[in-house]
Amino acid sequence: MVRRVVLHVGTMKSGTSFLQTLLFEQKAHLAEAGVLVPGAAWGAQASAVRAILGPPRGRGAWDSLTEEIAEHHGDAVVSMEFLGPINDKAADRVLSSFKGMEVQVVVTARDLNRTLVSMWQETIQNGRSWTWEEYLAGARETAPGGRRGSQDKVTAGGTFWRQQHLARILGDWAGRVGAGNVTLVTVPRPGAAPSTLTDRFARATGLPLDPHLPVARANESLGLASTLVLRDLNAGLAERGFDGGDGQGLRKRMIAKRSLAALAADEPRLGLPVEEWVRRQTDATINRIVALGVGVVGDLADLDPIEVPGVGVEDVSTEDRLRAATVALVEAVSRHPGVRGDRAKRNESASERRRRRAEEA
């Protein structure tokens, strides 16, 4: 039977994609040390967590994952940021699956200012259509300070703080498994050695990760022009009655990740100076973390807000937007079933013509 289950529960945009890629790239290495990374790929863990958070009839993916863990003799690790803000009923379902096992919860987090910028882009890639100004104002107006704060899946501020109210997430999990079984890992500040986050995560989890092995880049970010084009696309689709989940495979995986991400190096980035409310919120968060008594790997000073270099939305040129829009349009058209079908027919006709010529020869 498994001795210990490590749950890496987020937060979003805190190196989670990097760490998830790292775990599966070192899956064989960890297995040699008796550590199970369940699932053939990280997508299996993501599907399992979505299943346990959903209706009872659709929990087969979670059952498969937990059965694999139960049959293992050693430690196991599950990483999925949807586990961070879950309510008590959902957490009870998760923890009941590991009854009799030691459960350790690890939360990664980085400073609030950088998180604001990256979370807005993530919400756009996930189908939302809030402008940057709307998103930032929503986060500012609902900043919880030392309070529990609001959380929802509808408003800009509610969705941001649902995923990013670090003190609440740490406090909720400490209440479930005990503060001694919860560890915060701070994401290092810019300029730190590339292996720093891996080393910190390894120390927090006790997993024998090799911080010096290369890791494929994960969850590529977009430039500002591409993000604005994607936002306009989402808004246009919403006006026609489509929601954020419709066409997500095409919009996020194909248009955003495959095509628009390739433009990022040549596009301006969104900048954000540190506002006073961000400093106040950070101070309240750090004070609460200290009071909770959870473990910390890294330095709480890493949570001090950092100015994000870049430009404003109004500074993005029409040319950059047009280029991004053209790339998105080409990707969308090339993926349309009718276009792909016509291409297949043409290729088949050419193949048939070559066959006939060969037979005639």
Express each pLDDT in 67-110 by its tens digit. 999 999 999 999 999 999 999 999 999 999 999 999 999 999 99
Higher per-residue confidence, 335 vs 321 = 321
What is the per-residue pLDDT for 57? Answer: 86
Q: How far apart are CA 251 and CA 235, in angstroms?
A: 13
For residue 358, give Cα distances in angstroms to 17, 185, 253, 361: 51, 66, 41, 5
Q: Quote the strand ranges of the chain, DSSP E.
A: 4-8, 35-36, 75-79, 102-109, 182-186, 295-297
Predicted model pTM: 0.91
DSSP string, 11-60: -TTSSHHHHHHHHHHTHHHHHHTTEE--SSSHHHHHHHHHHHHS-GGG-H
Is the Cβ–Cβ distance between 328 and 230 less than 8 Å?
A: yes
248: left (phi over 0), alpha (psi -120 to 50) or beta: alpha
What is the per-residue pLDDT for 31? Answer: 97
Q: Quote the strand ranges of 146-268, DSSP E.
A: 182-186
Q: Supply 296's token pair.
A: 């910390």
Burial code (b: 16+ CB inside 10 Å, e: under 16) for 303-323 equals bbbbebeeeebeebeeebbeb
Q: How far apart are CA 200 and CA 245, in angstroms?
A: 35
The one-character DSSP state at 260 is G
What is the per-residue pLDDT for 347? Answer: 57
**According to CATH, where is 3.40.50.300 located in the chain?**
4-217+274-313
Whether 64 has a pLDDT exceeding 90, the answer reads yes
pLDDT band at 34 (very low <50, low <70, confident <90, very high): very high
Which CATH architecture fits 4-217+274-313? 3-Layer(aba) Sandwich (3.40)
Is the Cβ–Cβ distance between 43 and 9 less than 8 Å?
A: no
Whether 312 has a pLDDT exceeding 90, the answer reads yes
Q: How far apart are CA 219 and CA 221, in angstroms?
A: 6
Q: How far is CA 127 from the centre of its chain?
A: 14
Single out the residue of 65, 53, 61 nearest to residue 90, CA to CA: 53
What is the per-residue pLDDT for 3? Answer: 87
Whether 256 has a pLDDT exceeding 60, the answer reads yes
What is the per-residue pLDDT for 253? Answer: 87
Helices (H) and strands (E) in the chain, counts: 15, 6
Whether 349 has a pLDDT exceeding 60, the answer reads no
What is the per-residue pLDDT for 342? Answer: 54
Express each pLDDT in 167-220 by its tens digit. 999 999 999 999 999 999 999 999 999 899 999 999 999 999 998 888 887 667
pLDDT band at 359 (very low <50, low <70, confident <90, very high): low
Is the Cβ–Cβ distance between 184 and 170 less than 8 Å?
A: yes
Gap between the terminal Cα atoms of the chain: 68
Share of the chain above pLDDT 90, in %: 81
Sheet with strand 75-79: strands edge to edge: 35-36, 75-79, 4-8, 102-109, 182-186, 295-297
Return the SS3 of 178: coil
Q: How far apart are CA 208 and CA 216, in angstroms?
A: 19
What is the per-residue pLDDT for 83? Answer: 98
- The predicted model gives 337-347 an average pLDDT of 56
What is the per-residue pLDDT for 211? Answer: 86
Share of the chain above pLDDT 70, in %: 92
What is the per-residue pLDDT for 216? Answer: 80
Q: How far apart are CA 200 and CA 186, in angstroms?
A: 8
Q: How far apart are CA 296 and CA 183, in angstroms?
A: 6
- The predicted model gives 35-56 an average pLDDT of 96
The amino acid at residue 127 is: G
pLDDT band at 245 (very low <50, low <70, confident <90, very high): confident
